[in-house]
Amino acid sequence: MSTPPGTERAVAWPRVGVVGAGQLARMLAAAAVPLGVRLELLAEAEDASAAQVVPATRIGVPDKDALADLVERCDVVTFDHELVDPAVLDPLAAQGAPFAPSPAALRMAQDKAHQRAILEAAGAPVPAHRLADDVDAALAAAEHVGWPVVVKAPRGGYDGRGVATADDPEGLPDAWASIGGGPALIEQRVPLAAELAVLVARRRHHGETVVYPPTETVQQNGICTEVIAPARVPDEVAAHAGKVAALVAELVAADGICAVELFWTGEQVLINEVATRPHNSGHWTIEGATTSQFANHLRGVLGWPLGDPNVRAPASVTVNVLGPGDGSDPAAHRSDALTIGDAAVHLYGKTARAGRKVGHVTVCGPDAETARERAHRAAARLVGAREPRLARGGGDPATNDPQRPALDRSGGEQP
Ligand SMILES: Nc1ncnc2c1ncn2[C@@H]1O[C@H](COP(=O)(O)OP(=O)(O)O)[C@@H](O)[C@H]1O
Ligand SMILES: [Mg+2]
């Protein structure tokens, strides 16, 4: 590795430890092959998505002993998810354990309230918000930021879990209860012309970064269903979003990939949240960018030169495949989807519980509409439908109103 002398040994064939074995680790494994990198996993279960494809997998929870063992076996240790207690990482990091991202960066990614506080202190643009400990404080906070509001659990949420909305004081107690009570972030529900995401890759020990073109993400019921790259926003908005994300990435200083979720209100770019790992909004980069987010995550955490983040096609669209409600397995329909020859089909090896992300399809094409149509068609086939239901990108699929993104909490599942 290209590291300052004495900090870590240079290794021609490095081993990268990964805490967690979901689909991100599985796609990281695919990117590791051409780079000559070996992965060592700490998996939650033997049949976890990445555990199925990485022979060097140990099963266990990420406690002190398991992490020390992983550090011992590897040249650098990275993460498939944020659900690791930084207090367990701290003593190991103090002894020189090479965690990438650092425990400090993980702390910021894990806690939306902590994250908002750091971003706000740095003058970064975020929605108006307050932290509330109980429902009375939440009411006062909502009056302060203005109705309607979004109520968020600071920790442990994903795919819209831990997020609820309240239009008025009558609706607040239900929203408060649905996320399990406080402390919670109460924030202004901003109008959404589009949701954007920008990936930034950072090179360990060097601090260099590359910024991917902004993508547009479509959420339904709080879960990302579609990603369109590059985002269909004016050039100056895309350029501004890239600058905001680069500033955030600088603050977070997470080695490897950092994903910055943004709101475009039609007037302003605001920061929603930050993840310090490869992200669903970047799966299109596998086929659609010169260097995938997974390759750049490995290059970044290993301190290697980063690859070109730019697009290889005018438009790339990823459609997520969620477990259908009828309990059928999308893998059983694989051949049907593969008849769409320009669709890249990804299946994660996960049990298809209703609403759970079990795969995705990416199509690169001459324009966003063509790529969307092809990607939706292939994704529909995976869930046994002949024709796609092609909602307009963005906004509430029920009302097709981009000003009112759906935040219904029904139908989710564990990752
Ligand atoms: N302040 C807000 N205003 C409008 N919509 C919001 C706001 N906060 C969250 N949302 C909507 O809820 C979705 C999920 O919220 P987020 O905080 O990103 O949670 P998660 O951790 O589940 O991704 C967002 O992608 C967006 O569609
Ligand atoms: Mg989010």
> pLDDT, tens digit, for every residue of 74-123?
999 999 998 899 999 999 999 999 999 999 999 999 999 999 999 999 99
CB 150 within 8 A of CB 407: yes
Question: What local confidence, expressed as pLDDT, does residue 121 receive?
Answer: 95
Q: Check the annotation: does 188 bind a ligand.
A: yes
CB 345 within 8 A of CB 338: yes
* Residue 64 marked as a ligand binder: no
Contact 360, 317 (CB under 8 A): no
The pLDDT score that the predictor gives to residue 232 is 97
Using only C-alpha atoms, the chain has a radius of gyration, in whole angstroms, of 21
**Tens-place pLDDT, residues 146-161:** 999 999 999 988 888 8
Which residues does 38 contact at the CB level (< 8 Å), separation at least 6? 13, 14, 15, 16, 32, 56
The predicted pLDDT at position 388 comes to 79
Which tokens is 344 given?
């890249």
Cβ neighbours of 220 (radius 10 Å): 21
Q: Name the β-bridge partners of 76.
A: 16
Distance of CA 158 from the midpoint of ligand 2 (Å)? 7
Domain 15-99 in this protein, CATH class: alpha beta
Pocket test for ligand 1, best of 150, 268, 276, 403 (most atoms within 8 A of CB): 150
Whether the pLDDT of residue 242 is over 90: the answer is: yes
**For the purposes of burial, counting CB atoms within 10 Å of the CB of 14, is it exposed (0-12), middle (13-18) or buried (19 or more)?**
buried
218 pairs with which residues across the strands? 226
Q: H helices of 85-196, where? A: 86-94, 103-110, 112-121, 135-145, 172-178
Q: Is 128-188 in CATH node 3.30.1490.20?
A: yes
Closest CA to 277 of 252, 314, 310, 309: 252
Q: Map out the domains of the chain as residue ranges.
A: 15-99, 128-188, 194-382
Q: Which one of 3.30.70.2860, 3.30.470.20, 1.10.10.10, 3.30.1490.20 gives the CATH number of domain 194-382?
A: 3.30.470.20
Topology match between the domains 15-99 and 194-382: no
DSSP state of 142: H
Q: How far is the CA of 164 from the centre of ligand 1 (A)?
A: 9
* Amino acid in the structure at residue 45: A
**Average model confidence (pLDDT) across the chain:** 91
Residue 393's pLDDT is 54
For residue 154, give the ligand nearest its CA: 1
With a 6 Å cutoff on the Cβ, whether 150 touches ligand 1 is yes
